[in-house]
């Protein structure tokens, strides 16, 4: 590692996912744009393989921070706080990105200072192989459905302005809450219309194993943290609720 400030910091929280980590890191080291650093945050892993791997992990442009287990929000915040790059790209330890993703993200952020977030389309792999063509950004629609995945680019200075990720999202959706926080900065959000992000589907992953009560708790926390936005768009919220109720009622018999 040199003393020069890299353009991009790729922040990879890792909790017991050592078996996948090399795939994520390899996808960054294979980038067509090479002015980056990789910051891996060992979030108090307990798995012997992951602990041993991270204790001796040496890859180009890569450093490892060791923290006590505090969850993905705190791990991302620790990694970003230690990052030296102007732009941040979070990446989960079991996911990966296409070789041109950083180059294309940086090109937008460098030339368009009005842009705060850059994302792309998604290819799933693992237990599913679906393609997710992400919708174009809409700040109102974002309140009711997260259409920006965790691995989107943003400026470290904007992360500082919104106070980072909230550690209260213990069951998931901390990225959704973060994007809503970022929307308060009134910056543009740009989607690259290409499949550049690869999301591993595992049956035990948080988003796929969340129980209804956990989803309800996390949604309640999002609405509480951004109550002014939800109150401002109360009519959209009521419409969403009525549509959901109508869908449920269509499946019921009346005696």
Residue 167 CB contacts under 8 Å (≥ 6 apart), including other chains: 70, 71, 73, 74, 77, 174
**Is the Cβ–Cβ distance between 7 and 34 less than 8 Å?**
no
Residue identified by tokens 């922040």 is 11
Cα(173)–Cα(245) distance, rounded to whole angstroms?
23
> Over its length of 255 residues, how does the chain's per-residue pLDDT go in tens digits?
445 899 999 999 999 999 999 999 999 999 999 999 999 999 999 999 999 999 999 999 999 999 999 999 999 999 999 999 999 999 999 999 999 999 999 999 999 999 999 999 999 998 888 999 999 999 999 998 899 999 999 999 999 999 999 999 988 899 999 999 999 999 999 999 999 999 999 876 555 557 888 888 998 999 999 999 989 887 766 776 656 556 555 554 433
Q: What sign for the dihedral angle of Cα 123, 166, 85, 115?
A: positive
Q: Coil, strand, or helix at residue 62?
A: strand
Cα(182)–Cα(131) distance, rounded to whole angstroms?
26
**pLDDT for the residue 252:** 46
Which structure tokens are listed for 119? 């994302």
Which structure tokens are listed for 6? 């890299």
Domains and CATH numbers, the chain: 8-250 (3.90.550.10)
**Is the Cβ–Cβ distance between 173 and 150 less than 8 Å?**
no
For 20-29, give one letter per residue: b (16+ CB within 10 A) or e: bbeebbebbb
Residue 206 CB contacts under 8 Å (≥ 6 apart), including other chains: 171, 172
Per-residue pLDDT of 242-251, as tens digits, reads: 565 565 555 5
Per-residue pLDDT of 154-170, as tens digits, reads: 999 999 999 999 999 98
């Amino acid at each position: 590692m040199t003393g020069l400030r890299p353009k991009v910091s790729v922040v990879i929280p890792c909790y017991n996912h050592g078996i996948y980590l090399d795939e994520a890191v390899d996808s960054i080291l294979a980038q067509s744009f090479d002015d980056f650093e990789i910051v891996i945050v060992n979030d108090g892993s307990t798995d012997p393989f992951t602990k041993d791997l991270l204790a001796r992990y040496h890859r180009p442009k890569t450093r490892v921070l060791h923290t006590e287990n505090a969850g993905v929000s705190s791990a991302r915040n620790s990694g970003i706080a230690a990052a030296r790059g102007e732009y941040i790209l979070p990446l989960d330890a079991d996911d990966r990105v296409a070789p041109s993703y950083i180059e294309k993200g940086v090109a937008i952020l460098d030339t368009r200072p009005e842009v705060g977030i850059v994302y792309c389309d998604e290819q799933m792999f693992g237990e599913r192989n679906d393609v997710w063509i992400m919708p174009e950004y809409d700040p109102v629609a974002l309140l009711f459905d997260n259409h920006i995945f965790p691995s989107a680019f943003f400026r470290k200075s904007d992360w500082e302005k919104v106070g980072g990720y909230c550690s209260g999202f213990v069951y998931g959706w901390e990225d959704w809450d973060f994007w809503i926080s970022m929307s308060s900065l009134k910056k543009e959000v740009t989607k690259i219309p290409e499949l550049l992000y690869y999301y591993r589907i595992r049956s035990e992953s948080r988003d796929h194993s969340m129980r209804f009560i956990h989803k309800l708790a996390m949604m309640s926390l999002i609405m509480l943290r951004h109550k002014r936005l939800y109150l401002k768009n109360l009519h959209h919220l009521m419409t969403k609720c009525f549509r959901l109720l109508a869908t449920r009622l269509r499946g019921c018999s009346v005696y």
